[in-house]
Amino acid sequence: MRAFSVRDAVLEADELDPAQIVSGTPAVSVLELGEGRGIWEITPGVVTDVEHDEIFVVLSGRATIEVEGGPAIEVGPGDVCLLDAGARTTWTVHETLRKVYQAH
């Protein structure tokens, strides 16, 4: 068992495929907590992604997530979001967003 402050956790830079960047200069960092789970952060900008089955809780920051052929949702601190595998998304990150996630 382990416990620590998620807000103060030190994350490591992760690569973001340049083809995913729509605008801005977003950067991604992560702290893996085990298979398919961890803490993830992205700085402001617009990126695309193809999702995995995932549930996450936003700790800080704000973003709009647009699902191709589906809704656009606004997420911020305290929000829980479910993503479906294969969903094509566009993330517009308004404020650096940090989340805790579990993906399959």
CATH number of the CATH domain containing 56: 2.60.120.10
- Residue 22 covered by a domain: yes
Q: Residue 23: its pLDDT value, please?
A: 97
Residues 6+ apart with CB under 8 A from 10: 31
* 60: pLDDT strictly greater than 90: yes
Residue 1 has pLDDT above 80, yes or no: no
Residue 2 predicted with pLDDT over 80:
no
| Per-residue confidence (pLDDT) for residue 7, from 0 to 100 | 82
Sign for the pseudo-dihedral over CA of 77, 79, 85, 86 = negative
Across the range 48-68, mean pLDDT stands at 97
| Any domain includes 4 | no
Which residue in the block uniquely carries the two structure tokens 């997420």? 75
* Closest by Cα among 56, 45, 53, 51 to 23: 45
Please enumerate in sequence order all residues whose Cβ is within 8 A of that of 50, keeping only pairs 6 or more positions apart, or say none.
86, 87, 88, 89
pLDDT of residue 8: 86
**Mean pLDDT of the 25-48 span:** 96
For residues 57 and 78, give the distance between their C-alpha atoms in angstroms, rounded to a whole number.
6
Instruction: Say how many domains are in the chain.
Output: 1
Could you tell me the residue range of the domain that residue 74 belongs to? 12-103
Residue 3 within any structural domain of the chain: no
Establish if 95 belongs to a structural domain: yes
